[in-house]
Amino acid sequence: MTAQTYEDIRYEIDGPVVIITINRPERYNAFRGRTVDELIKAFRAAWADRQVQAVILTGAGDKAFCTGGDVKQRAESGDYGPTESGMFEIGYLHKLIRDIPKPVIAAVNGVAIGGGHVLHVLCDVSIASETARFGQAGPRVGSFDAGFGSAYLARVVGEKKAREIWFWCRQYSAAEAERMGLVNAVVPAERLLDEAKAWAHEVAEKSPTAIRFLKQSFNADTDHQAGLSNLAMSALDLFTASPEGLEGAAAFAEKRKPDFVRYVNWH
């Protein structure tokens, strides 16, 4: 897939750095099946390109980095749209971001919510615009990520904060995110991409083999969470098709509060 055939993303080379941009600003850069397919192709292309030493992941526009799965699409069609394989491969994308032997820098230019929040958490480092906001939405819209999105998040910010983020679905400012160790740096919006490029070019000067071994070493401590992620994705497939999951998506699309009370069952 060449750069010209991408529809949902942009793939731009800047010397030893690749900038991958989720390009669906009209949907707050929410991803559908095609978006995930294209992100997978882009990360694999960056992995294979021996000239590329670092990757920047960002979103188009100034409102959103990524707001996760396209809930409107799910409410309309019951899924995230057609894919090349017939599968929605978000779990594979998560693994690819972790496994690519090159640093991945999230340049968070706006809201990073839900599955978009998971994407930035999985990146090696995150640099945020002062206007960025962070949070989870799963339990509010009938969804969850009980794999890397929660277990790895707890390694990043600690158990108590991770549970707060998921259970209460609050949003946090860039300054709050920096204080909790969720992002590495906060810069003015107009400087975000330049700052991310500066970080990327700086790390590109380092030994690529040393970086590869270091990334694999950091990942080794949490690779067992991939098993949790697989279980979580299987559970999510079943849950989103359930009446409770469908109620969350429908309420989001209809801009109303979901009625989850009828699904309370502690037995």
Query: How many CA within 13 A on the CB side of residue 179?
Result: 6
Q: Which residue positions form the known binding site for substrate?
A: 80, 111-115, 143, 255
Strands 171-173 and 133-135: what pairing? antiparallel
Contact assessment for residue 112 and residue 182, using Cβ atoms and an 8 Å cutoff: no
Q: What is the DSSP string of 19-75?
A: EEEE--GGGTT-B-HHHHHHHHHHHHHHHH-TT--EEEEEESTTTEEE-SB-HHHHH
Q: Which residue positions form the known binding site?
A: 80, 111-115, 143, 255
Which residues have C-beta within 8 Å of that of residue 26, sequence separation ≥ 6? none
